[in-house]
Chains A and B, each alone.
Chain A
Amino acid sequence: MVWVFNYLSLNCWRDFFTVKKRSEEEVAIEFGVFIEKRRSEEGAIEFRAKMGRTSSSKDDAQALFHSLRSAYASTPINLKIIDLYVGFAVFTALIQVVYMAIVGSFPFNSFLSGVLSCVGTAVLAVCLRIQVNKENKEFKDLPPERAFADFVLCNLVLHLVIMNFLG
């Protein structure tokens, strides 16, 4: 049974990290680039790449951001709205944590219910995004109305519990 696990895990880690084609450029990048941390005058931690044999990693980082941005720009608008909602929920949670750090956590149940409601709505919105995303082959025969109805139901239960726990 152990060898079954080994075989499966090896296979899957290889899938996880493998790339389809490796050009010489990429190999060079892999060997030549490593990241170094340094403190600048302002005290912020700055990342600087030591030069390898080929292109600098600043270009790489820029290329990365550029490709991320272009890939994200092509997502449909309803998914972007959900992403915005998730970001807002997480941001609200962070604000609550900062507030708790400043003021103290006395009504702990209120703090807990506030933070967990933000985290909970974020999680549920991510689930909705997963189910509505057309690129997801697993959910291709799930009508988006059904996904939204489930989302609403779960949110109802969540907020009922929150309001009970808020105190």
Chain B
Amino acid sequence: MAAPETSSAAVPTLYTNNTLRNAFGGVLSFFILLLIGVLAFSIRLFSVIKYESVIHEFDPYFNYRVTQFLTKNGIYEFWNWFDDRTWYPLGRVIGGTVYPGLTLTAGTIWWLLNSLNIPLSVETVCVFTAPIFSAFASWATYLLTKEVKGAGAGLTAAALLAMVPSYISRSVAGSYDNEAVAIFALIFTFYLYIKTLNTGSLFYATLNSIAYFYMVCSWGGYTFIINLIPMHVLLCIVIGRYSSRLYIAYAPLVVLGTLLAALVPVVGFNAVMTSEHFASFLVFIIIHVVAFVYHIKGILSPKMFKVAVTLVASVGLAVCCAVIAVLIALVASSPTKGWSGRSLSLLDPTYASKYIPIIASVSEHQPPTWPSYFMDINVLAFLVPAGIIACFLPLSDASSFVVLYIATSVYFSGVMVRLMLVLAPAACITSGIALSQAFDVFTRSIKFQLPGISSNAEVDAGEASSAIAEAQNDAVKTEKPEETSRDRPSRKNKKKEKEPVEKPSTKAKAKAEKKRLLALPLEASAISLLLLVLLGAFYVVHCVWAAAEAYSAPSIVLTSHSHDGLHVFDDFREAYAWLHHNTDVDDKVASWWDYGYQTTAMANRTVIVDNNTWNNTHIATVGTAMSSPEKAAWEIFHSLDVKYVLVVFGGLVGYPSDDINKFLWMVRIGGGVFPHIKEPDYLRDGQYRIDSQGTPTMLNSLMYKLSYYRFVETDGKGFDRVRRTEIGKKYFKLTHFEEVFTTHHWMVRIYKLKSPKNRIRGKTKKSKSKTGSASSPKGKKKNP
């Protein structure tokens, strides 16, 4: 690694050394980034290795089905697709209600690979989309942090993001969900915004709008971007950092961004009519006013400017009050003040539990607990405050953006566990900045005090070149004098001054002295470096453990270890395969909405409700049917043309997420629409019980009967392993349903509706009321 020495004076040699060092640094950075990408990809492959290459969970199955349709029928059919195999009898307009980014991305990748004669199946492409885009996301984090603080911080932040567990949890191989591409789009949009802010180039503003368009296509969380950026612009104006680069960064984004958002069918006119976007328009007006004021101030003399201000202030104030009054009247006229239910539940965490039980019932929408922070971002949790302080030394536009980003994302992650995912990039960026600064201080102290490198000239060149190579902010002090706060030079200008300027030696000596005083003791620095590396090692170990053990479960296949080896529970796929092979194509299947996507994707049967949960009344109908006695439930299902009912039951094997545990939500949601279902009817003394102390309403409900039918035959006592009691009603017959299939571990049970009787017995039988009170467990032959 000897530098090619020229035989001339010392300065050209140093110059060659610097460029060589720069080149070496660049190549090293490139290989580090490549390795980070490979790391991000491979740490997400645990589920493929431990289980198989299968799509996980519930939502990804819907995305997979949509991608299959897209690859089979082409994009025009996809835009106009009306799906009649779900939400029977309503159907669903897929083209207008799905965020197309993910499916279009995977479809494009599949099409590209197939046209290159690499015949990967659609499922393989879908499974591996998330790891590929997480590699892209870590590269985008590198770019973003490089714009904020420099290349060293960028590499650290990228390495942290590649492994952070909260991002892994939503982007393992097989988790084919919107967040897989959306987080990449989020970070990339923020990078382009910061780049535009730093350079003031309209080209990057255009790219920023296009990246924002990709984000809008991908995820409903785009409202975070369109509210965070206006907040940052407002912050910059308020603390006096307005510059024309801010205008160029923001104004085209608003116009182009709104138009592009309105192009996506899901968003449509919501881009201009809902309150989520009003902040951007308000700040758009404000920035124009501010820009105009600065412009007038620039061309007028100070005295005239004073006059103008007094004249305009009164007029402007009156007009402003009128406009604001109109706006408030418009917004207040809508009951939710223009916000959608999901956004309102973010702003007011108690809103959903009061008004929208469906949103409240999703486990991802609950607030996180403290341990989940340490599980999900681990070491970063206490590196973040250090990073925030590092962002203030010195404060620039980009670092103020990072501070705002971390503050808002911490708040939102506290509201909903699902939004820990938005916190992850912010935490990685700030921690990367902190770690990089710490490393810088320690290594500089060590280099300062190592013997043999203490000559002033070497130190100068070394300092200058290392400062340039790492593009630290304090290099500005050695390059230019401090400018007035008005003219903040863009980072592009700073970076162009790469050659070390010939300084008078006295100034250099003073600088070296100052640096020497700032150095820490050698031993302390060395030990601290070692401890930092150890910290990183702990982080890596934790992330790999979390990825392997906690977040790689496909949840459609379950495993358990017992003394005689590994048990695999593949009941879900068994049940869907049975449905697929043993029922007619047009048969309708009713189940709770959790399993709708999987049923349509794997069993290919029409379902009544699915995970999209857009129609609360329809879900409440199914919930009411599950909570009613058999006859009433049969009536409801018969009116919906249902042929098969599917319930999930975990009592035999101890699977805790079964329908009996979700039953109270069914009651609540059903009771929200049909008032004859009252939750206290199902609780004994406020407690939810299914043993002999359970209420009659509970023990006669359809869900109880369908879950525990013939359960007593398994062990003679009917001991439910999840609820840890014996069941209340053990011996009963079903009058309106018949069992057609129960999987191997009794986890999925499928029942068929009995057809109505041909003959109706005499009218006298009708006066007998059906079960509602504690009737005998024997089924009677009743009129249907």
* A residues with CB within 8 A of B: 1, 4-5, 8-9, 11-13, 15-17, 19-21, 26, 29-30, 33, 35, 37, 47, 57, 60-61, 63-64, 67-68, 71-72, 75, 108-109, 112-113, 116, 119-120, 123-124, 126-128, 130-131, 135-139, 141-142, 147, 150-151, 153-154, 157-158, 161-162, 164-165
Contacts and interface: CB of A to CB of B under 8 A. Distances in A.
A8 B200 contact: no
Nearest to A117: B259
Given A63-B307, A119-B255, A130-B247, A165 B262 contact: yes
A35 B318 CA distance: 12
A71 B248 contact: no
B455 interface: no
Pick the 3 closest A-B CB pairs, nearest first.
Answer: A12-B240, A150-B202, A19-B302
Nearest to A119: B255
Contacts of B490: 138
Interface stretch (B203-211, B440-448, B693-701, B754-762): B203-211
10 contacts: A11-B240, A17-B309, A21-B302, A61-B311, A63-B307, A67-B301, A108-B269, A124-B252, A157-B210, A161-B256
A5 B306 contact: no
Contacts of A21: 302
B307 A35 contact: no
Interface in B173-208: 200-203, 205-206
A153 B206 contact: yes
A21 B244 CA distance: 27
Contacts of A112: 259, 262, 269, 272
A139 B200 contact: yes
Contacts of A4: 392, 395
B262 A109 contact: yes
Contacts of B439: none
A146 B269 CA distance: 35
B252 A113 contact: no
Contacts of B486: 15
Contacts of B334: none
B239 A64 contact: no
B248 A130 contact: yes
B310 A63 contact: no
A33 B310 contact: yes
Contacts of B318: 37
Interface in B294-332: 296, 298-311, 314-315, 318
A47 B314 CA distance: 10
Q: For chain B, which range describes its interface: under 10, 10 to 19, 20 to 34, or 35 or more residues?
A: 35 or more
Nearest to A8: B239
A5 B239 contact: yes
A4 B256 CA distance: 35
Contacts of B258: 116
Which secondary structure dominates chain B's binding surface? helix
Nearest to B251: A123
B300 A141 contact: no
**Counting chain A CB atoms within 10 Å of each CB, which of B258, B303, B392 scores highest?**
B303
B117 interface: no
B202 A147 contact: yes
B206 A116 contact: no
Contact of A161 (B202, B205, B259): B259
A18 B707 CA distance: 77
Contacts of B314: 35
Given A4-B392, A164-B263, A136 B244 contact: yes
Contacts of B202: 124, 127-128, 131, 147, 150-151, 153-154
Given A67-B301, A150-B203, 18 more contacts: A4-B395, A8-B240, A11-B485, A12-B239, A20-B302, A35-B310, A61-B311, A64-B304, A109-B269, A112-B259, A124-B202, A150-B202, A151-B202, A154-B202, A154-B206, A157-B210, A164-B263, A165-B259
Contacts of A17: 309
B303 A26 contact: yes
Contact of B259 (A8, A72, A116, A124): A116
B191 to A, nearest CB: 18
Nearest to B306: A19
Contacts of A11: 240, 485
A158 B255 contact: yes
Contact of A141 (B203, B248, B269, B493): B493
A87 B179 CA distance: 43
Given A11-B240, A19-B306, A120 B392 contact: no
A64 B210 CA distance: 43
Interface string B566-607: 000000000000000000000000000000000000000000
B272 A29 contact: no
Contact of B308 (A64, A127, A157): A64
